[in-house]
Amino acid sequence: MAGPGTWSLTRAALIILLLPRSLEECGRISSSASIVRLGDAITASCIINQNCSHLGPESQILWKLGAELQPGGWQQQLLDGTQTSTITLPHINSPWTLLSCCLLWGDSLQILDQIELQAGYPPSTPHNLSCLMNLTTNSLTCQWEPGPDTHLSTNFTLKSFKSRGKCLTHEEAIPDCVPKDGQSRCSIPRKHLQLYQTMGIWVQAENALGTSVSPQLCLDPMDVVKLEPPTLWGLDPIPEVAPPQQGCLLLRWESWKLSAYIEQKCELRYQPQLGEDSWALVGPLPSRTLQYELCGLLPSTAYTLQMRCVRWPLPGHWSDWSPSLELSTPQQAPIVKLDTWWRQRQLDPRTVDVQLFWKPVPLEEEREQIQGYLVSWRPSGQAGAVLPLCNTTELNCTFHLPSVAREVVLVAYNMAGTSHPTPVVFLESRGPPLGRLHTIALDPHSLWVGWEPPTPQPRGYVIEWSPGTTSQPWCIMQHGAWCSSSHKTWKMEHNGSIAGTLLQENIRPFQLYEITVTPLYQDTMGPSQLIYAYSQEMAPSHAPELHLKHIGKTWAQLEWVPQAPELGKSPLTHYTIFWTNAQGQSFSTVLNASSHGFVLHGLEPASLYHVHLMAASQAGATNSTSLTLMTLALEVSELQIILGLFGLLILFTCLCGAARFCCRPSRKNPLWPSVPDPAHSSLGSWVPTIMAEEVFQLPSLWDPSMPPITKITVLEEDEKKPGPWESSDSSGTRGLPTLVQAYVLQGDPRAPSSQPQSQSGTSDHVLYGRVLGSPTHPGPGHYIRCDSTQPLLGGLTPSPKSYENLWFQTSPVRTPEPVVPNQEDDCVFGPLLDFPLLQGLQVHGMDGLGGF
């Protein structure tokens, strides 16, 4: 194939034209192969001779595969001044590409030489070799499947030879047959064939990477002959020779003239033009007959027919199907049963007006063409006289009859004849009626009509339905004439034992229908029963209109009048009221279907609201028109009261905040001294339960929330000398037990003890108290509590400095002086029982303080 090679040569010529004249003969490329298997490696060398004037000692030779630079080139200079560069490309993954040897010349890359590289696969084995002997072209045509694409130019050759028997011997070679480009078939002319002699045939595929051959085919050219299809046409029957048969077609065909001497058999297939019936096959048909009558077809039906033939009984191939032949079977008289129904009205004492309806019911699965219907009446007393009443193509007819007439005849006809006559007997309504007629809408396009069969059992029923209205009864006459029957639909049920039927013809959704059911008995009929029914119920047509009954500043009373139930409308299930304020906020509430009013609460004064009502049922919902209302505004007196109450609330909040701020115990300098009165508080009834073995936990000295205790001292009555637990060189608190010493505390250890705080209003009150007890007079102790801001005098340990230890501060040895309460001071004298917290003071190890 010359396509890729021609393109590569042209492209190489264009590249050479772009090279500088002085570089054309500088280098050349040699490769290990120009065509390789796809994915294999290839090695190439670029040799630059010593005569290249542009080649310097440090010139660099580069390689490009397609448009990409390829690393890995190994460059060296030979002794004769020639420079070479060798590169190995590990994988060639493109079916066609260019390999370029380039020289870096200045700032540009100059191509010294290029070669074309092709990659592909060896040819696969051709398969499915088959041959046909065509008598029209008088040649043996063979075809095969070449297999997958090799990406290389592959040549196929059809090879053959003449032989005997099973092609084990090679007698004479037949010239090779080379197909046209891209084709997978080839024809061997008749001059190279020997008919009725076997020959061996095979296909050889060859490209640059290898050769493959197909399995050998051994055949006799006449055993694979394919005949041309016959010519088929139809014959018209000759009534004088043979009357035409119903549902039959007479066919004739002629074999191809070149195959007339060959024994063959044929097949015929046919199918109706209308419908989706598959082909029906008839055969084998002997070719010598050349005529065939095809029967068992539907009357008045167009058919498509085709025929093909094959060499027989010797081997051969079926011909193609002949061109289609279209024929129609002759008509036959209609074979139908006609269901009939009628309506009568008396015009005068001697004449009645009859409206007759009918429906054709085919008795066989045939397609008779009915061209029209004929209604006739045979008067009694006139032998052989038949009076035609109607000749129509419609399914109903209106005519006049004498009152004494009780029967007419209805027939269907076409070009082939008429159907069997159907008598129509006008029965009188003397039978029993139906019981409990009812309907059910199964879906929007069907209605179920049910009833209770009467006794005796009818032989059938006639059901009529049409769109109607409840304001008028069943329409019989309009302006002296029959109502138009175009909108009426009816059907007949021949099974008298059924108790209902499904109506599916001409049923539309949301439509009211008038339905009548009439029972038919053997010689009479029963009265017609009428019922109205909807095929599907609809949503309410409109919602009640809202009315404003009363309105206030924050409420509005609404009312509405519920709608009366409507036919065809689903009953209401609930109401929903929606209201929206001016800011776009929406609110809603759901009410039951029996509600007819509602009060909107929580509205804002002097505000605009939009309200609408939605009525909902199982079939849907409908909204009412929107009602716009505005609430009343507040009066001046009401506004003043609201503002006054709001001001009082703000004032009360401020007072509570100020009181909480001023009375907080954590404040260092309150506005007034905090003087607790334990004797008159709830602590007076509290008795501690601290046991002797419990460890007394001292409060923190720096706790700002507790009132400071300056000093607690133990005094003696009529003390003459120190007790056994006192030391002569210690203060009144040094010899006390550890628990008692813990209560000898200063109010503020950071304040100097030698400076009394006598300025009222600039410093806090300091509470002072003394506990009185006698070791010789057991009994309840006493205390002195003073509210004075002056420090207690007599025998007190001076306050320690800020850097001294509070717990080991001592004073000179001196005898504590008894303190007598002074009425002029703000002091109170009383037993310790009035001070419950002091009852918890216990002195361990001191026998002389038993009364403490």
Q: Scan for tokens 């030698």, then name that residue.
A: 754
Which two structure tokens, joined as six digits, stand for 129?
Answer: 């070799």
Provide the token pair at 517: 């059911």
Peptide bond between residue 749 and the one before it cis (omega within 30 degrees of 0): no
Interior/surface letters 198-236, b for 16+ CB within 10 angstroms, e for the rest: bbbbbbbbbbbbeebebeebebbbbebbbbbbbebeeee
SS3 at position 365: coil
Q: Thinking of the domain 436-470+487-534, which architecture would CATH place it in? A: Sandwich (2.60)
Cα(13)–Cα(116) distance, rounded to whole angstroms?
12
* Residue-level pLDDT at 79: 77
What are the contacts of 573-578 at 24+ separation with CB within 8 A? 573/616, 573/617, 573/618, 574/616, 575/613, 575/614, 575/615, 575/616, 576/613, 576/614, 576/616, 576/621, 577/611, 577/612, 577/613, 577/614, 578/611, 578/612, 578/613, 578/614
Confidence check: pLDDT of 741 > 60: no
pLDDT above 90 covers a percentage of the chain that reads 22
CATH superfamily of 547-631: Immunoglobulins (2.60.40.10)
Confidence grade of residue 435 (pLDDT, cut at 50, 70, 90)? confident
Q: Give the separation between CA 478 and CA 97, rounded to whole angstroms.
A: 93
The pLDDT, as a whole number, for residue 768 is 45
Query: Is the distance from CB of 401 to CB of 354 less than 8 angstroms?
Result: yes
pLDDT of residue 61: 84
Looking at every residue in the chain, the average pLDDT score rounds to 75
Which helix (DSSP H) or strand (DSSP E) does residue 18 occupy?
Answer: helix 3-18
- Per-residue confidence (pLDDT) for residue 201, from 0 to 100: 92
Instruction: Give the containing element (helix H, strand E) for 838.
Output: helix 836-839
Q: Which residues pair with 86 in a beta bridge?
A: 45, 74
Q: pLDDT value at position 672?
A: 55
Burial (CB count within 10 angstroms: exposed 0-12, middle 13-18, buried 19+), residue 519: buried
Which contacts (CB < 8 Å, 24+ apart) does range 94-98 have? 94/66, 94/119, 95/38, 95/119, 95/120, 95/151, 95/152, 96/4, 96/8, 97/65, 97/66, 98/8, 98/11, 98/12, 98/65, 98/66
164 neighbors 134 (Cβ within 8 angstroms): no
Give the pLDDT mean for 530-549: 86
CATH 2.60.40.10 fits 127-225, yes or no: yes
End-to-end CA distance of the chain: 134
Backbone angles phi, psi at 812, to 5 degrees: -60, 150
Return the closest-CA partner of residue 8 out of 43, 34, 40, 39.
34
pLDDT the model gives residue 740: 40
Domains 20-120 and 547-631 share a fold: yes
Average pLDDT for residues 781-798, to the nearest whole number?
49
Q: What phi and psi values does residue 397 have, to the nearest 5 degrees?
A: -160, 145
Question: Are 185 and 139 a contacting pair, CB within 8 Å?
Answer: no
Statement: residue 127 has pLDDT above 70 = yes
Would you state the structure tokens that stand for residue 238, as one six-digit string?
């000759």
User: Peptide bond preceding 284: is omega within 30 degrees of 0, i.e. cis?
Assistant: yes
Structure tokens, 144: 């095969």
Mean pLDDT of 327-338: 85
| Domain spans of the chain, in order of start | 20-120, 127-225, 227-328, 336-426, 436-470+487-534, 547-631
E strand or H helix that includes residue 651: helix 636-662
Distances (CA, A) of 618 to 314, 342, 536, 569: 78, 41, 12, 10
Cα separation, 481 vs 355, in Å, equals 11
Q: Give 120's contacts (C-beta < 8 A, 6+ positions apart).
A: 35, 37, 38, 95, 150, 151, 152, 207, 208, 209
Q: In 3D, which of 269, 338, 264, 331 has the Cα closest to residue 301? A: 331
Q: Residue 24 — very low, low, confident or very high, per pLDDT cuts 50/70/90?
A: low
| Residue range 623-640: mean pLDDT, rounded | 82
Q: Which residues pair with 13 in a beta bridge?
A: none
Average pLDDT over residues 511-515: 88
Rounded CA-CA distance 101/675 in Å is 112
Tell me, what's the pLDDT at 392?
A: 93
479-500 residue pLDDT tens: 344 454 456 899 999 999 999 9
In degrees and rounded to multiples of 5, residue 589 shows phi and psi of -150, 150
Return the H-helix or E-strand segment holding 16. helix 3-18
Which of 455, 457, 448 minimizes the C-alpha distance to 515?
448
Instruction: Kindly state the percentage of the chain with pLDDT values over 70.
Output: 69
- pLDDT average, residue stretch 76-97: 84
Across the range 50-63, mean pLDDT stands at 71
458: confidence class by pLDDT, cuts 50, 70, 90: very high
Question: What pLDDT does residue 730 have?
Answer: 41
Answer with the residue of higher pLDDT: 806 or 288.
288
Is 203 a residue whose pLDDT tops 90?
yes
Predicted local distance difference test score (pLDDT) of residue 699: 46
Q: What's CA 397's distance to the chain center, in Å?
A: 56
Whole-number Å distance between alpha carbons of 560 and 615: 12
State yes or no: pLDDT of 599 exceeds 90: yes
- Please write the tens of the pLDDT for every residue from 351-389: 999 999 999 887 765 556 788 999 999 887 666 678 899
Higher pLDDT, 507 or 709: 507
20-120 to CATH, choices 1.10.10.10, 2.40.50.360, 3.40.50.150, 2.60.40.10: 2.60.40.10
CB 15 within 8 A of CB 111: yes
Q: Taking a C-beta distance cutoff of 8 angstroms, is the pair 395, 359 a contact?
A: yes
Q: Which of 234-248, 507-521, 812-826 has the lowest mean pLDDT?
A: 812-826
* 227-328: CATH architecture: Sandwich (2.60)
Query: Tokens at residue 109, please?
Result: 């890359």
Q: 336-426 has which CATH code?
A: 2.60.40.10
Residues ≥6 apart with Cβ < 8 Å to 472: none
Q: Of the ranges 448-462, 590-604, 680-694, 809-823, which one carries the lowest mean pLDDT score?
A: 809-823
pLDDT at 826 over 80: no
Identity of the highest mean pLDDT range in 275-279, 520-524, 716-720: 520-524
Averaged pLDDT, 675-704:
50
Which residue would you say has higher pLDDT here, 113 or 672? 113
pLDDT band at 821 (very low <50, low <70, confident <90, very high): very low
pLDDT score for 305: 94
3-class SS at 800? coil
Top-confidence residue, 652 or 764:
652
